[in-house]
Amino acid sequence: MHGSLLLVELGAVLLGLGLLGAVSVRFSISPIPLYLLAGLAFGQGGILPLGASDEFISAGAEIGVILLLFTLGLEYTAGELVGTLRTSAVPGLVDLVLNAAPGVAVALLLGWGPIAAVALGGITYVTSSGITAKVLGDLGWLGNRETPAVLSLLVFEDLTMAMYLPILTALLAGAGLLAGSVTLAISAATIGVILLVALRFGWAVERFVASPSDEVVLLKVLGLTVLVAGVAQHLQVSAAVGAFLVGIALSGPLAHTARELLSPLRDLFAAVFFVFFGLHTNPADLPPVFGIAALLAVAGIATKLATGWVAAARLGSAVTGRLRAGAALLPRGEFNIVIAGLAVTAGINPRLGPLAAAYVLILAVAGPLLARAAEPLARRLRRPPRSPAPAGPAAPS
C-alpha cells in the first residue's frame, strides 16, 4: 500500500512540475518561483502535505543541486576561469561588497548573529546563473558588447561560492578557527588539484570518460560527478562545488555531449530540488518576513544594477548596455536556495529559510520582467527633452 501511494505521489508531483513548466514557457518566466510555490502548497502547513515520497524527493533534491552545478561548470574551461579571475577582479569585488552587505547588515540588525549574517550575505550576493543565462538567450543579448562582462561576473561569483560554501559549512557545523582554517585549506587544495588536472591532464579525463556509446558516457559522467561530489562532501567541501569542478575538468566535444545527455536529468532533479525547499518551508512563516524580503529585494535590484553598470562601463558600453548588464544580474535562484538550505538544516535561525524563499520568489519573478524593461527605459533616458514650443505673435492691444 505504501509503495502504491509513493508511485501516486511521485506521478502527481512530476505531472504537476510539467504543467508548471508549461505555464512558465507560455508566459516567458522562470519556472523556479512556480516550483517553490508548488512545494509550499504541498509541504508543511500546505494544502495537502506529501508523506510517502518525502525521502525520495530529499535524495532527488541533492542530486538536483549536484547536476545544476556540474552543468554550470561545463560552460567554462579551466583556462577561461583563470583568465576571468584576472580581468574581472575589480568588478567582481564591487559585486561582492555591494550585494553581500545588505544581507549581512539585516541579519546583524535583527540580532540573528554573525553566522546567520554570513549566510544571509551569501544569499543576497549571488546571481542565479541559470535564470540569467535564460534571460540572455531569450532576449537575444548573447552577442551584445556587455555580455562578456555579465558572464565574467557570473564566473567570479561561482568561484567565490567555491571558497564560500566550505567556510559556511564549517561555521554552520560549529567548527572553531583552526578547524575552519583546515576546511578552507582542504577546499583550496581540492580546487587547485582539480583545476591542475583540468589544465594539464584534461585529455586523460576525456579519454577515461569518452565512449562511442551515449549510454556509457552518461553513466561514466554521472557516476564520476556524484562520486567526486560525495568525496568532496566527506572532506567537508560542498558537494555542489565538487560537481562544479568536475564540469570544469571536461571540455571540448565531450563537454557538449555530456551537456546534451545530462540536461534532461538536470532539469528533472533541479525542479525536484526547488520543490523540496518549498516542501520544508511553512507558508505561514512567509508573511512575517515578507516585508524584510521585499526591502532586501529592492536593495538587491539597486546593487546589481550598480554592479552591471560598473562592469559594462569598463568595456566601453553605452547607457543601454550598462542597464542591460545590471538587469541581467538581478535574478536569484539556485545558489541562494542552496545556501539557505544549508543554514536551515543546521538550525541557525527558523526565519532564515522563509526569508530566503520570499527573497528568491520576488527576484526570480521580478528579474526577468525588469530585464525586458531595460531597453525601453534606456531609450527614454537617451531621448532628448522636448524644447518648449515657440511663442506665437503677440495679440494686438
Query: Which of 352-363 are b and which e, b meaning 16 or more Cβ less than 10 Å from the residue's Cβ?
Result: bbbbbbbbbbbb
Q: How far is CA 378 from CA 3, 238, 318, 367, 392, in A?
A: 57, 40, 10, 17, 34
**2 Cβ partners below 8 Å, 6+ apart?**
52
Domain 64-378 has CATH 1.20.1530.20: yes
Between residues 264 and 189, the one the model is more confident about: 264
Does 23 score more than 80 pLDDT?
yes
Q: Is 30 in a helix, a strand, or coil?
A: coil
Q: Look at residues 249, 104, 224 and name the one whose alpha carbon lies nearest to residue 168.
A: 104
* Contact (CB, 8 A) for 316 and 141: no
Handedness of CA 56, 25, 131, 245 (dihedral sign): positive
* Contact (CB, 8 A) for 136 and 328: yes
Banded pLDDT at 397 (limits 50, 70, 90): very low
Taking the mean position of all CA atoms in its chain, how far away is CA 231? 23
pLDDT tens-digit map of 93-132:
999 999 999 999 999 999 999 999 999 999 999 998 777 8
CA pair distance 99, 103, nearest whole angstrom: 8
Taking the mean position of all CA atoms in its chain, how far away is CA 197? 26
Between residues 71 and 300, the one the model is more confident about: 300
Q: Which three cell numbers stand for residue 222?
A: 554521472
Every domain of the chain and the residues it spans: 64-378
Mean pLDDT for all residues in the chain: 80
CA pair distance 231, 193, nearest whole angstrom: 14
Cell 575538468 belongs to which residue? 249
Handedness of CA 109, 112, 115, 121 (dihedral sign): negative
What does the pLDDT read at residue 83? 67
pTM of the predicted protein model: 0.72
Counts of helices then strands in the chain (DSSP H, E) = 17, 0
Percent of the chain predicted with pLDDT > 70: 83
**Residue 80: how many other CB atoms lie within 10 Å:** 15
CA pair distance 306, 136, nearest whole angstrom: 18
